[in-house]
A = this chain, B = another copy of it.
Amino acid sequence: MTSLPRIVIVGAGFGGLTAARALDGLAIDLTVVDRRNFHLFQPLLYQVATAGLNPSDVAWPVRGILSRQKNARVLLGEVVGIDTDAREVRLDDGRSLPYDWLILATGATHTYFGNDHWARHAPGLKRVDDATLIRRRLLLALEHAENTDDPIARRKLMTFAIVGAGPTGVELAGAIAELSKKVLAHDFRAIDTREVRVVLVEGADRVLLSFPPELSAFALAELQKKGVDVMLNTKVTGCDADGLRFGDGSALDCATVLWAAGVAASPAARWLGVAADRAGRVQVAPNLTVPGQPNIFVIGDTAAVVQDGKPVPGVAPAAKQQGHFVAKAIRAALAGKPAAQAFRYRDFGNLATIGRHSAVIDFGFVRMKGLVAWWLWGIAHVYFLIGARNRMLVATQWFFNYLSYSRAARLIVGSDAADPESR
Contacts and interface: CB of A to CB of B under 8 A. Distances in A.
A411 B57 CA distance: 11
> Which of A75, A129, A147, A408 has the most CB atoms of chain B within a 10 A radius of its CB?
A408
A173 B409 CA distance: 28
A37 B143 contact: yes
B128 A411 contact: yes
A413 B76 contact: no
A406 B186 contact: no
Contacts of A225: none
Interface string A406-420: 101111111101100
Contacts of A73: 189-190
A248 interface: no
Contact of A415 (B57, B67, B129): B129
A96 interface: no
A63 B184 contact: yes
Contact of A129 (B59, B147, B400, B414): B414
A371 interface: no
A64 interface: yes
A188 interface: yes
Given A37-B143, A73-B189, 18 more contacts: A37-B139, A37-B412, A38-B411, A38-B412, A56-B409, A63-B184, A64-B406, A73-B190, A74-B187, A74-B189, A76-B140, A128-B413, A129-B415, A387-B408, A389-B408, A390-B408, A392-B396, A393-B397
**CB-based closest 7 A-B pairs:** A63-B187, A73-B189, A389-B400, A67-B186, A76-B143, A54-B54, A56-B409
